[in-house]
Amino acid sequence: MSADATSALKAKFPQVTGRASADHAAVNVPIADLVAVLQYLRTEAGFDHLADLTAVDWAEGVSPRFTVVYHLFSTTAHGYIRVTANCADDTQPSAPSVVSLWAGANWHERECFDMFGITFSGHPDLRRILMWDGYPYHPLRKEFPLAGIETPLPDDEITAETGTKAIAAPMAGGPFVASVGEMNLTEAEPRAKDESWGERSSQPGQTPLRQVKE
C-alpha cells in the first residue's frame, strides 16, 4: 500500500525523491512543496494521523544542516510514510507550519522550535514549550554540550530573593560528563564524601596519618 502511495505521490509531484529507509516508505520533498505534499497525503492518500513531527541536526558545518521529519499514519490502511524536507538556511532554519492540516502539530512544532530553533512560519503561537520563555539556547542542536550551559535565572524576583544569579550547567563536572581531553576517571566519578583531604593530603588541622620519610 505504501509503495502505491509513494508512486502515486511521485506521479503527482515529480520533484519528490525517494529516501533510503530501513522500514517504512520514505520521501524527500523540497521545503517549498512540503505543505502541498502533506495536504495531498492527508486528504487523498488517506494518511490522516500525524504520528510524529521532529527534526534532525546533521551537525555544524554540514549543509543542509536541519531536516524536518514527518511520520504519517493511515488509520484506515494502517501504513506509515516518512516525509522529510531540508531547511534552506543553516543558521536561521525555518519550515512551513502544518497546524492548519493537523491541529496536533501545534505542540510538536513548538517543541521543534524549542529544541532546534527552527521557526515554523504560519504557526499561531510559536513559543517555547519544554524550556522556559527567554531561555537562550536550543538544547538539541549538536553544538550544545551534554553538560549544559550556565544560564541566567528566568525571574528577577527569584534572583533578588535568593541572591542566585544563574542556574549552573546541570551536569557539569559529572557523573556522566568529563571534559574532552582532560579525562580523569578518579575526578569524574560521582562522590558525596569530603574530598578536600585523602591519602595524599591530610585533613586541615590534623597531622598526616602516614609519614613518609624522605
The correct pick among 80, 83, 118, 126 for binding another protein (CB under 8 A) is: 80
Q: Which of 147, 137, 95 is nearest to 116 (CA)?
A: 137
**Which stretch of DSSP H or E encloses residue 109?**
helix 105-116
Q: How many residues does the chain have?
A: 214
Q: Is 153 in the site for another protein (CB under 8 A)?
A: no
Q: How far is the CB of 139 from another protein (least distance, A)?
A: 6
Q: Is 17 in the site for another protein (CB under 8 A)?
A: no
The correct pick among 4, 17, 39, 52 for binding another protein (CB under 8 A) is: 52
Q: How far is the CB of 184 from another protein (least distance, A)?
A: 18
DSSP letter, residue 22: S
Q: Which of 122, 55, 123, 57 is nearest to 90 (CA)?
A: 57
C-alpha 196/C-alpha 194 separation (Å) is: 6
Q: How far is the CB of 194 from another protein (least distance, A)?
A: 28
C-alpha 101/C-alpha 107 separation (Å) is: 13
The correct pick among 132, 134, 187, 189 for binding another protein (CB under 8 A) is: 132
Check if the beta carbon of residue 31 is closer than 8 Å to that of residue 96.
yes
Number of residues that bind another protein (CB under 8 A): 39
Contacting range for another protein; rule: CB under 8 A; set: 30-38, 78-86, 190-198, 205-213: 78-86
The correct pick among 37, 82, 86, 123 for binding another protein (CB under 8 A) is: 82
Read off the C-alpha cell for 45: 492518500
Burial 79-111 (b: 16+ CB within 10 A, else e): bbbbbbbbbeeeeebbbbbbbebbeebbebbbb
Nearer to another protein, 30 or 46 (CB): 46
The correct pick among 61, 63, 157, 176 for binding another protein (CB under 8 A) is: 176
Residues that bind another protein (CB under 8 A): 20-24, 26, 48-52, 54, 56-57, 69, 71, 73, 75, 78, 80, 82, 102-104, 106-108, 111, 115, 128-132, 139-140, 144, 146, 176
